[in-house]
Every structure is written in C-alpha cells, then in structure tokens.
Structure 1
C-alpha cells in the first residue's frame, strides 16, 4: 500500500503576508492605470476615474477587513511612484484607506448584496459606497495639499470636485465590474451569443465614431448603453459604460471631438458629468431590470409549485375509495 504523505498547510502569517502583497500589487497596478489618463485643470492634475477605489471596495466586500493593510500599502506605493513622499502623504494614504473601509461598513450595515440583483443594492453602492464614502478621501487629500501649501486655495474647489468625482466613479464603474467577474460563469450556448457579438461590434465601432465626431453627439452613446443593459443587464451595461468612459477620457486628453474647443476646466467638468451620468444610468438601470427579472422568476416558480401541489391533491383525491367501495351503506 502506497504511503500517504500529509501536506502541511502554509502558516497563517505567511498566507496573510502573501495576500496583503497581492492586494497591494493590484492596487498599485490599478493606480498606474488611473494615472495614465490624467487631465489638467487650472494647473492641477486630476484623474477622471480612479480605479483603485473600486478595487479596494471590492476586496473588502469579498474578503473582509484583512485587506486593509494591503490597501494602505498599495496607496503608499502609488504615492512613492510619483516622487519622494512628504508628511502630507501620510494623510493621503490614510484618506485613501479610510474611504473604502467606510464604504464597506456602510454597505454592510444596509445589507448590501454583491450580486447587485436589487435596486436598493445599486442605490446603496452609488449613494453610500461612492458619493458619501469618497468624501473622506477627497477632503483628506485636498486638505493635506492645502496645509502643505502645495495647492493654492483658489484651486481648492475644482481640485476637490475632481478628486471626489474620480474616486466615486472608480466605485461606480470598477466595483460592479469586479464583482461581476468574481461571480462569472461561462453561460450555456444559446442564440444570444450572436446578439452579444453584435453588441460588442457595435460598441467597438460606433463609440469611437461618436467620441471623435466634431459635432457634439455624446448623447448617442446612451441608446447603445440602454440596449446593452436591457438585453444583458449588469454583464452588458457595466463593461459598455466603462468602455465609453475610457474612450471619452482618451478623447478629452487629446482635445479632440466634443472636447476640442473647450478650456481645461470645461473639459474636466463636461467629462466628469458625462462619466457620472453614464455610470449611474448603467448601474441603476441594470439593478432595476435584474430585480424585475428576479421577481418574475419568483412568481413563476411559486405558480409552478402551486400547480404541482393542486395536481398532487387531485391525484390523491381521485385515488381514494368512496363510501360504497369501503362497504359503508
């Protein structure tokens, strides 16, 4: 009989350290992606979408508070990549860490479901996880820059708004996508594969044409987004919204298309407004449709169970002997 060799599990501290480094590495990579799409407004550098906030909130929702050290380390690595850290870097790292933790705590308190199958889940992610919690990171970051005299007070409003909206858009666009990928399963072959491919081709062809058009036709992106949401819910709406937002950011950085004749501040404001409405539309409309489909399936299942119960009762009643068959006069 062959000997059975026991395999010892790794010590828990080693697992925690490796997981922390993994989270920090993913946060840093997401930060570098966000920094690659910078905009300048009134001399201040801003990022329209800050993916690390969405990544941090996702890690906390899926794996819990042990991700906090990795988030803090990742935020520190992003700052180190920009230059020698100063005393204000401590406040920025603290704000970028506290904001996702606050978002996680608030979402947990209201019973948030990572499936995003209810409208209340979409509303909670937008208004609690994004708009409310990201006030912490924006105020902490801008406040530390003002205290260190690296940000003039006349630029305070525009930089704070850009910081807040960028962090919030990271949660609205990136968190649903990562939650979707975490639960993704290969669907069975069906006729909808052809529609999915057609939608993908339409998005890849039409969206660049819309963005680079010299005529301001950004609104034409919304019918495409609505089509993707109506047919594929979250799986279609969020990737489509993220692709459109990235394309809009690229075009804005090139001063092309609808952003060609605008000042830096106007470009930033228009881009942030467009990305914000796009993300909110995709997330909330997907949640509404998913909730309606879930309710419909629940009603159909309840009706089916009721029919089966009635059939069972009828079969039992027809099979029982009558009074004369039992010998009762």
Structure 2
C-alpha cells in the first residue's frame, strides 16, 4: 500500500489551475524526436512524478472507501496536468506525458461514470471561471482605487446579498478588471431574463436567482464544460434527466433556454428544501456534489452555514457563491457601476 503524507505532498504541489481545458491527445502525432530518444528536463520529470503520485493516492483512497479524498486527488492531478501544459506547451508531443494523461483521464472517466470521450470546452465562461477562482489568491479590490457605490438599490431579495471581502473581490473583477465580460452578460440578460423571471415566479423560486446563469454559462445556451455539463444552466445528463430534459441523438433539451430554465428552477427549489431554507448552501450544492458538501459540513464541525464551511469547500465552490452575489449586485445596479441599463 502506498503511504504518502498529504501535508508533505502539498509542499510540492504545483500552482492551482481550476477548470482544466481537456483535449484528445489521440489526435496528436507523437514524434520520435520529441519523445522517443530525447530525455525530458529534470523539472518536467519531477512534475510528471508528482502527478503519478497524486493519481496513486486517488486509487488508494478508493480502495479505502474514501470517495471524497479520491475526488480531491483526481481533481489535483487534472489541475497539475493543465498547469504543466500551461508552462510547457511542448509537452503535448511527449510520449511520457501522453501516457500519463491517458492514465489520469481514464480514472477520471471511471470515477464519474463517463462512458464517452472527453471533449473540448465550449464557451468563454470557463476562462472566466479560471480567472475568478484566482480571486482567492489575488486581491483585486484596491480600496484606494476602487470605491463601491453607496446606497445601492438592492430591493427586497430572498437570497441574502451580503458584502464581504470575497464578494468585493469578485465585484472588482467584473467591473474593473474585466468589465467587457459583465457588459456582454448584461446585453444577453435583456434577451433571456424576462423569460427566466416569469418561469422562476411560476416555480416559486426567487427571481434574483436568474443571475446564477451568468456564473454558470455567461448566458450562452450552447456552453459545454469538460465534464459534459451543457447549456445555459450546465446540466449533466443524469441531473437533466431527473428534471425531464431529454437528451438523445436528435435533441439535447439542456440547450433549450426555456426548458433548461424550468429544470434549473425546480432543481434549485429542491436543493433549497434539502438545506432547510439556506439559499447559500443550496447554491453551493448546485455547483458541487451533495457528498462533497456533507463532507465539508463535517469538517467544519457539523455547522450548516456556507461561510462557516467555506474553507473546507473545493476552490471552485468557494468562489461560486461570492461570484453569484457580485454578478447579482452589479446586474441589479448597472448604472451605479458604470454600465448601461439594458
């Protein structure tokens, strides 16, 4: 049995890169010049060895019936692969890297029950996700250069739109660092939000939750993630089928804005009920599995409060609720943040 101290492993962990962009290496032609005879530099070999170690830890966690740790290790391995490619694009032509990539991706597919091939992501939102997840590492909210509007007209909302450091950092991203992203979202919202609000009212779900589609897909009906989540509300096949979305050779109703919005409203309503009326926990659970949520609750001492379990959530989910709150605050007060009202 492999025994590696996780704390020791963390000391050699490569920089985090959320939402990796996968590609089918089978399409690449590996040349002898780049992989057969030439030895990789020591630094690259060390990083390949690190990924193998994390992969083995994921297998050991599954043997020990610890799916939460297995999920963490699988995610770490995938992110390490993406970081390696970011730093050394030429690794795509390395046979050693190709074999490691196939090994890790096979385990990823087996763990999540994915039977078809991994596809490239589609949609600008996934680059936004990568940058937003860095908000935890980079302080974009400069109090000397950025002043939040006073007396924001938020109105009465059922979902608490609290303001804290995490939310302020996301507001700075959407309004100062990448305002063109927020502008595109606002333009698309003029087309889709009237329909969404009507459906959310019919399903007795808070209307402000329509802004979640900005964070999920950038309001792009054709968005597709590496995990094969599809559409404006990013349903995977299993969850979509539970809420009546048909997916077959001829049709994929996850791409239907109207049907997917109704499914999302019902899913959010069910999550809200599961978490005893806590919308922040329901939103986090929309982003990550219930199994992972319950694990975070246990690690936080059993308290069921998003901001209490925040440090124990996956990095993507830590940025998910603050991102939703930030997008909602800006979208509800566009002119106060320097945008046109659509």
TM-score (normalizing by structure 2) = 0.28
Higher-helix-fraction structure = 1
Which is higher, the Rg of structure 1 or of structure 2? 1
